[in-house]
Each structure stands twice: as C-alpha cells, then as structure tokens.
Amino acid sequence: MTPKKRIALIAHDARKMDLLEWVDRNKSVLEKHDLCGTGTTGGLIAEKCGLDVKRYKSGPLGGDQQIGALISNMGLDIMIFFWDPMAAQPHDVDVKALLRMSVLYNVAVACNRASADFLISSPLLQREYNAEIKDYSMYIPKPI
C-alpha cells in the first residue's frame, strides 16, 4: 500500500447518517486518499461532505460485488462499512461475501465508529504498508 490509500465508504440505510457524520468529522484526512462507495452512500458523501467519491452501484444492485471485485484485484486498501446489525438485508449474502473477501485479501475493515476512528488515526494510514496476503492455493482442488 502506498501512503495514499484506496478507501471504500459503505453504509446500510439505517447507518448512512452515522457514516456521513464520521466522514465529515474526518474530512481533512479522507480528502488525501482515493475514495469510493456504493450507490447512494457515495453520492451522499460527495454532496454533503464535498469529497470526490467514485460511485459504484447500490449494494443490493451489485455494488457490494463491485467492491468485492476491487478487493480481489488488489484495488482497495481500507473498507469502512457501517452495516446495520439489526435489520435483515435483501443482499445479506453479498454483504457476507464482501466481508469474506476483505479477510481473504487482508484489507483493513471498520464496521463501526470506534474501529473507524482507530483506523483513521493509525500512523500506518500515512505511510507505505505491506499487507501480506496469505497463500490459499492449497484450498484449490487439484485436477484429477
């Protein structure tokens, strides 16, 4: 990872205002990085906080999978995902897959304000960092 991180900003409907408040409070740090987000969340951040955010589709329409593809192609360093633990999501399997991909590819993830605060205040945010990727090739079945 370079000192300029690639950060995804995602929030379920019930958590969008929490994320907007958090982004606004941390705008001076976030504006130094490349930001992306899913559908409405990315648009709200751009509109309300004045930050440049590359927008993907809404989560239920494939945005979570687009972010997952970024992760699998080594195109994301950090994911801030304020998800709603109290509501069933129509795309719950996509959310789980996205979180799985972030673990698989060693992407730093924050799912609430406390962990997001720790991530954004880490000295590693402003430096190069070597995120080691575990070799999972032993899990791939060998041809018969």
Q: What is the pLDDT of residue 127?
A: 93
Q: Nearest-5° angle of CA 91, CA 30, CA 93?
A: 10
User: Who has greater pLDDT, 59 or 112?
Assistant: 112
Q: Is 64 a catalytic residue?
A: yes
Q: What residue segments make up the domains of the chain, in order of their start?
A: 6-122
User: Who has greater pLDDT, 48 or 137?
Assistant: 48
In this prediction the pTM is 0.91
- pLDDT single digits (tens) 81-112: 998 888 777 767 888 899 999 999 999 999 99
Structurally, at CATH architecture level, domain 6-122 sits in: 3-Layer(aba) Sandwich (3.40)
Catalytic-role residue among 24, 64, 84, 92: 64
pLDDT at 78 over 90: yes
pLDDT at 131 over 90: no
